[in-house]
Chains A and B, each alone.
Chain A
């Protein structure tokens, strides 16, 4: 039911038709969707988390002139799986002086919200777990706010000073950074006029200049405010004070080991993907490519005479790939920052929030509201309601100013993107020789078979 829901309301999905025949009945559909939801959900979150952990280690390795995990599987891809097995086999320890019930509960409280937030992420036009969730974006924010509860409880229940310090930092950091996070999202939402993640995606289907980030300068700035605030609310470096290793041993999860410890990491990397996904869906055009091809193809396929389930399914798969790569790109930037920037003190972190980000976000909110009033953006869904590349039509509809500004912002954004990419490419190319020199091992003489090696 949730996946490909627009079809399944009237008719069962393609896969279901294959398995159960033409008309499976509502009970079968319900059980099927429940199982699908549970397995795909659990699988997706674990897969995302495991991939991100591997990637984080790989990125960290390359930034420190190392290779990173490369033994288990191709490129070390299965390293997370091996670590998972290792963690499963470890003893489930709880300190004697801890509050045992809360200590055991906390990892689940941290993990479950990250899991539930995937409900509203738009992987494709029909590939959302719950496309009719009208408050999708707000739902994700609400559920991620609950995640903090698990972290705070973990620190508190451990009955350990470092853990409590970590939990307290998490609490004050999260409570303060939620405000600029929410306000910067509102700036984007004001320009779109909806909180439904699927509608947000459809609105941005007409190529790069219809992406929400380029709608007006205030949304463009809100994108960066959101990114910084999301780093802090996700306790990612440079705002990883709740678990700062240099002062607090491991912060809130000092006392955890084994599988319970790994739940916190699943939660963290799941939440990273969710936060990146919000950013991709709200600002960066969701599942759409920069040329508006997916949107054009989708609305062409949705016409009654062209309706084709198989083609629609393929389109959704491509859309999901695009969406995931956008979210992963943002995760890569998060990792890049983590291994580049030093960690500020907690008072600096709170100063940055209350005295810099919060006023900035409020100014952006005000500016965005005034902008809506003075230079309104073109309403409607591209390709369905209007042709985004027919510039004469834009002018006829009276949106010349909006179009000019959108294209101008698009060029600025594009220039920034190209500059960043070429910078990374340059760094990777110039660092290549350096890395080989540092890590190339000295040649070892292989001992011949008869020879006894003296140690």
Chain B
């Protein structure tokens, strides 16, 4: 995007200010909506807040000249995963406004876990020295990315794709098993397959 290019083309105050302003804008967007994700009790609102978190992080990737990563973030998380979450909520929820009702014990466990995680993250960030000098400037050539992914790192890439294949087979098996049950219990009033047909 234009601002990242601004930052690299002319090292000047105006460009740096613009980058800083955009950084804080995206950071506030990501952080603020992340708090909303944790606080909100309506699951669809949580998903919407998550959309803004993911978009804010994508904006940060853009500021780092990692355009491909930003676009992947948008297409996989914002465009894919979130839609599936909402789709799942639509199919399972009884009312559009079903809310989480967390018990006290759950809150305590979740809070303590979150505190431990926060502590670990803060300690990790404070103790690490980040190599800012090796920061890539300029747009990352995307063809090089493809060559690295399918050349140097071919084995990890293939392992991940096998994992995804396993997930897909599992999903297909589950869906098929459920349909068989539905056919056996077709006498029952609301079999799943019929319900699906009615919905569509």
Query: Real complex partners, A and B?
Result: yes
Contact A33 B2 (CB under 8 A): yes
Tell me, yes or no, whether A157 is within 8 Å of chain B by CB. yes
- Those of A170-201 within 8 Å (CB) of chain B: 171-172, 174-175, 178, 193-195
- Which one of A26, A134, A152, A194 lies within 8 Å of B15 (CB-CB)? A26
- Those of A54-95 within 8 Å (CB) of chain B: none
A101 to B91, CA, bound (A): 22
Closest CB-CB distance, B40 to chain A, in whole Å? 10
Tell me, yes or no, whether B116 is within 8 Å of chain A by CB. no
A1 to B45, CA, bound (A): 37
A14 to B192, CA, bound (A): 65
Residue of B nearest to A168 (CB): B90
Inside 8 A of B67's CB, which chain A residues have their CB?
Answer: 133-135, 139
> Which of A142-150, A299-307, A308-316, A439-447 contacts its partner?
A142-150
A37 to B91, CA, bound (A): 41
Contact B139 A134 (CB under 8 A): yes
Chain B at the A interface: mostly helix, strand, loop or mixed? helix
Tell me, yes or no, whether B68 is within 8 Å of chain A by CB. yes
Chain A at the B interface: mostly helix, strand, loop or mixed? helix
Inside 8 A of B51's CB, which chain A residues have their CB?
Answer: 109, 146, 149
A167 to B83, CA, bound (A): 11
Tell me, yes or no, whether A105 is within 8 Å of chain B by CB. yes
Tell me, yes or no, whether B72 is within 8 Å of chain A by CB. yes
A165 to B51, CA, bound (A): 22
Interface centre among B51, B55, B71 (most CB of A within 10 A): B71
Q: Known contacts A101-B45, A134-B142: does B2 contact A146 (CB below 8 Å)?
A: no
A28 to B2, CA, bound (A): 15
Tell me, yes or no, whether A46 is within 8 Å of chain B by CB. no
Residue of A nearest to B138 (CB): A132
Closest CB-CB distance, A237 to chain B, in whole Å? 18
A-B residue pairs, 7 tightest by C-beta = A145-B79, A142-B74, A142-B75, A346-B200, A142-B71, A27-B14, A26-B14
A sample of 20 cross-chain residue pairs with beta-carbon separation below 8 angstroms, ordered by A number, consists of A1-B6, A2-B2, A37-B2, A99-B97, A132-B139, A133-B1, A134-B67, A138-B75, A139-B67, A139-B71, A142-B72, A142-B78, A156-B90, A157-B44, A159-B96, A168-B87, A171-B90, A175-B84, A194-B142, A195-B142
